[in-house]
Amino acid sequence: MTGPTHRVFVYGTLKRGFPNHHYMTGATYVGDARTVDAYPLVVGGIWFTPYLIPEAGEGHRVKGEIWDVPALMMPALDQLESVHLPNGYRRSVIAVVLEGMGERTEAWAYFRERRHIAVIHTGAMDDYQDRRYKAAEDRDV
C-alpha cells in the first residue's frame, strides 16, 4: 500500500462478511481487536443499525477488526457514517488491543450519540453478529 493510511476499528456492517464490507476495498486487514475500554454496542433504528455509543466504561470491551485505510478512502467512510450531519456518527481515536498479539494500538472508531438513536432494539453486546441490518440499497425509502 502506498501513501498515508489511517488505522480504523470496525465493529459492525463494515466487518468482513457483512453488508457494507465492500466499502473497505482498498484497505488492508490488520487483525481482530478488542477495545481497551468498555462501550455500549447496540442495534437500533428502523434499519437495525449497529451503534457504538461514546460512553466509555459502560457496556463491554467490543470486538471488531482493525484496518489500515488509505487516507484517500476516509472521506467515503465519513460519508457512509454521515459525519457531516448533526445527528450522524462522530469519528474518535480509541485504544484497542490486537487479539492474539496483545499489541495495543490506537484507531479511529465511529460513534453515535445515544440521543440520536430513535429506538434501541438490543442491550449492550460485545460482538456485533446481528443480521437484521437493511443496507441502503435494500431500503424501501
- Tell me if 34 sits within 8 A of 96, measured CB to CB: yes
In angstroms, rounded to a whole number, what is the distance separating the alpha carbons of residues 131 and 93?
27
* pLDDT at residue 34 in the model: 98
Q: Would residue 65 show up in a list of annotated catalytic residues for this protein?
A: no
pTM: 0.94
pLDDT mean by block of 10 residues, the chain; 141 residues = 88 97 97 98 97 98 98 97 96 96 95 97 98 89 65
Secondary structure (DSSP) of 17-31: TSTTGGGGTT-EEEE
Domain residue limits, the chain: 5-129
Question: Which of the following is catalytic: 58, 65, 81, 103?
Answer: 81
Q: In the structure grid, which three cell numbers stand for residue 95, read together?
A: 485504544
Q: What is the CATH number assigned to the segment(s) 5-129?
A: 3.10.490.10
* pLDDT at residue 141 in the model: 65
